A and B are shown apart, each in its own frame.
Chain A
């Protein structure tokens, strides 16, 4: 069965420092991986996705993610955090041999960026 794990409930980082939000997945076959961000009282917004090709994916607002097949990870990164990046971040997986159109989301990681 497909699954996604976000091992950290919360990540704290100072403004200007690099940030990493971790995600690992379990799926048989080739996965399609996504990151979404959720601000208070808002729906989810798409940040970036990995389909195939280059393992480093660049997305919106300066975020990027690195796909690592051997470690089954897809960590979200940003070189320099902003206070406005504070939000709830979700990793999601789709596809694989049995998943089809079903999208599996992680439980989310809350990012706090201090000024």
Chain B
């Protein structure tokens, strides 16, 4: 098991609502990235934070936003939820912002939008 923890593990929301997902990174890691994994697909990169600054973003609309805190934990916020936002959301942490660094993943938050 990695030291990356995510909360909550499961969540059900109604279309149009807002949701906040949380992630605690592994000790010593200062980089956090978020991914969306739809059923039967590979993870899709949402964005990455390094020392509280966003330093990479995938093809997701602005209603997907994030924060990284001084202790390197992170939040993913999604506004105006759509049915297609139903997915497993994965958080991963790593040490440093090098592109050659592997990531350590949490178990994910399963979001269902109804």
How many residues in B have their beta carbons less than 8 Å from beta carbons of A?
27
The stretch of B14-22, B39-47, B67-75, B76-84 that contacts the partner chain:
B39-47
Bound state CA distance, A17 and B39, in angstroms? 30
Beta-carbon contacts under 8 Å, B61-114 to A: 90, 92, 97, 99-100, 102-108
Given contacts A102-B45, A108-B41, whether A43 and B90 have CB atoms under 8 Å apart is yes
Nearest B residue to A50, CB-CB: B100
Given contacts A100-B56, A101-B48, A102-B58, whether A44 and B99 have CB atoms under 8 Å apart is no
How many residues in A have their beta carbons less than 8 Å from beta carbons of B?
25
Beta-carbon contacts under 8 Å, A46-64 to B: 46, 49, 51
Which residues from A are CB-within-8-Å of B41? 107-108
Bound state CA distance, A108 and B41, in angstroms? 7
Instruction: Type the 1/0 row for A29-48, where 1 means its CB is closer than 8 Å to any CB of B.
Output: 00010101000011111100
Given contacts A43-B107, A46-B103, A51-B100, whether A105 and B44 have CB atoms under 8 Å apart is yes
Residues of A within 8 A of B (CB): 4, 32, 34, 36, 41-46, 49, 51, 90, 94-95, 99-108
